[in-house]
Amino acid sequence: MNILLLYPEFPDTFWSFKHALKFVSKKASLPPLGLITVSAMLPPEWRKKLVDLNVSKLTQKDIEWADIAFVSAMGVQKKSAKQIIARCKNAGLEVVAGGPLFTSEPEQFPEVDYLVLNEAELTLPLFLEDFAQGIAKKEYRSNGFPDVRTSPVPQWELLNMKKYASMALQFSRGCPYQCDFCNVTTLFGHKIRIKSSDQIIRELEAMYERGWRESIFFVDDNFIAHKSYLKKDLLPKLIEWQQSKKATTKFYTECSINIADDQELMDLMVKAGFNQVFIGIETPNHSALEACGKQHNTSRDMLANIKRIQRKGLEVQGGFIVGFDADTPSIFQQQIEFIQNSGIVTAMVGLLQALPGTKLYERMKTEGRLLSSSSGDNVDNTTNIVPKMDIETLRKGYRDMMNYLYSPKNYYRRIKTLLIEYKPPKSKSRFRPGQLVALFRSMVVLGVIGKERFHYWKMLIWTLFKQHQSLSLAVTLSIYGHHFRKVCTLHLKTEEHPATSTV
C-alpha cells in the first residue's frame, strides 16, 4: 500500500508566522506532529509519503502514486482541507480523515470515505483491522481516552526538517479546568494523561539523531498540570539530557497562570531549557472569568504573576478574549492597559467564538445566539455568536484595540517593558547562523524599508546598551511584530458582515 499523508495549508493567521518565517528562510513554524505519529501506527510494510502543504505543493504525481490518502487538520485549516479532499476524490482516491477538525465537525465532510475520529491510539487500530478485511465503516469514534504511554515515537524521517522553524512533541493530554469556551477537554478530557520521561527522551533522541538542534514546542495544552511528576522526574531528566549532549535546545510550551506560584518548578524549567510559556489570560474582567469557568485566574494579581514569571527567565505570551457577556465597552481600554503594562509582546486577542462541543457552544445554541460554525482563527475579526454588547461597538472596539496594540510605537514599548523585567538564564547558548541572517534582514526590512524604522532602531540601540544579553530576543520580537501587523492589516481592513444562522 502507498499511503499519502496530507496536511492542509494554514491561512495567514496570527500563529502561522508566515511573514516572520521569511527572515529565517523557513516555510512553516511547526510540523504536522499528529500525522507523523499516526504514520508510526500504520503497518510497517506500507510505504508512506508526507506532503505538508505549508512547505511543498501537492502534485498530480503524488496523487497518482497513492493507494489511499490520510488527512489530518485543525479547524483553521478547513478551507484547505476541503480543497485537497476534493482533489483526491476527483482523482478517484479514497480519503481517511481524522484530527480536531473532523472530530468536531464530521458532518461537514460527507465526501470523506472513512472518518477515524477522537484519539488515534483507540480508533485507528479498529479501522485498520476492518480495512484489512474489506469491511471498513464510514466512522470510528471512541468514548474513552487512551493511555498515551502507548503512543509511538513520531516518524521524523518523513519530514524535511530544514523547512521548519521548530519541532514539536507532546508530553500530556487533557486539562483539569472547566473553561466553557475551550474545546480541549471536549477532545481530550479533564484527566491528565502523561507519557513517561523515557518516552520523551526517546523522542528527543530521534530528533537529535536527525540533526535537529533548534527549538522544540511541547504542544501540551497545560504542561504543568502534573507538577509533581515534572519536578521529580521529567525536568531532571531533561536537564540530564541537555548536559549529556552539551545541547542548548530551547523548549517552549503552554501552561496556566499558577506556574507563578511554584518557584521550584520555574527554576527547573529554565534549567531544562524552557524560555517561553503561553498563558491563557483571557481578560482582566473578573466577572467574565468567573462566568466562563476560569476562576483560577481570579484569585490572584495576574499582572504581578506575569512579572514574576518573566523575572525567572520565561517570556510570557498571552491569549486574550473580548466579547464575553459580562464585557462592557470599557473592556477594550482595560485590555490595552493590562497588555501594555504586562510586557506581553505576543498578545493574541480575539473576539469570542463558540467552538463545537464546548459548553459555550451549547449555551449559545440553546439561547438562539449561535450564528454559524467557528472560523477556527482566533484573530480574524469575526464571531459566530450574537454578543450581549452591541455588535458594531464590539467590532469597532476590537479594531481600535488591535490597531493600538500593534502600532509600532506601542508594540516596541511592550518589548522594552518585557526586557526590563525579563532575566534570561545564564546558560550557554549556541551561535546559530540563522540568527545573523535574521538580524541583517530585520535591519533592512524593518530598519530601512519599514515605517517602524525609528522605533526599531531606538529599541535596538537601547537593548545594546541596557539589556545586551537579550538582543536576540529583541530582534525576534521585532520580526514577530512585522508579521502581526501584516495579519492585523489583512483581517481588520475587511468588515465582518452579519452571519445568517446555519445552526
Express each pLDDT in 16-34 by its tens digit: 999 999 999 999 999 999 9
Closest CA to 218 of 72, 33, 38, 75: 33
Q: What is the pLDDT of residue 314?
A: 97
**Which grid cell is 26?**
523557513
Residues 281/348, Cβ–Cβ less than 8 Å = no
Q: How many CB atoms lie within 10 A of CB 147?
A: 12
Q: What is the pLDDT of residue 492?
A: 83
Closest CA to 195 of 249, 239, 241, 151: 151
Q: What is the pLDDT of residue 427?
A: 65
Percent of the chain with pLDDT over 70: 97
Q: What is the pLDDT of residue 308?
A: 97
Q: What is the pLDDT of residue 496?
A: 45
Strand ordering across the sheet containing 347-351: 167-169, 216-218, 251-255, 274-282, 315-322, 347-351
**Which grid cell is 69?**
490518502
Number of H helices, E strands in the chain: 20, 14
Q: What is the pLDDT of residue 375?
A: 83
Q: What is the pLDDT of residue 380?
A: 87
Residues 14/402, Cβ–Cβ less than 8 Å = no
Q: What is the pLDDT of residue 433?
A: 73
Q: What is the dihedral of CA 415, 420, 425, 429, to 10 degrees?
A: 50
Give the residue ranges of the chain where pLDDT is below 70: 427-431, 494-503
Q: What is the pLDDT of residue 430?
A: 64
- What confidence tens digit (pLDDT) does each residue in 301-355 have? 999 999 999 999 999 999 999 999 999 999 999 999 999 999 999 999 999 999 9
Q: What is the pLDDT of residue 497?
A: 41
Per the rule left: phi > 0, alpha: psi between -120 and 50, beta: everything else, 200 is alpha
Q: What is the pLDDT of residue 500?
A: 37
Helices (H), 422-452: 433-444
Q: What are phi and psi of 172, to 5 degrees?
A: -140, 160
Average pLDDT for the chain: 94
Q: What is the pLDDT of residue 494?
A: 54
pTM attached to this predicted model: 0.94
- DSSP state letter for 385: B
Residues 349/492, Cβ–Cβ less than 8 Å = no
CA distance 184 to 104: 11
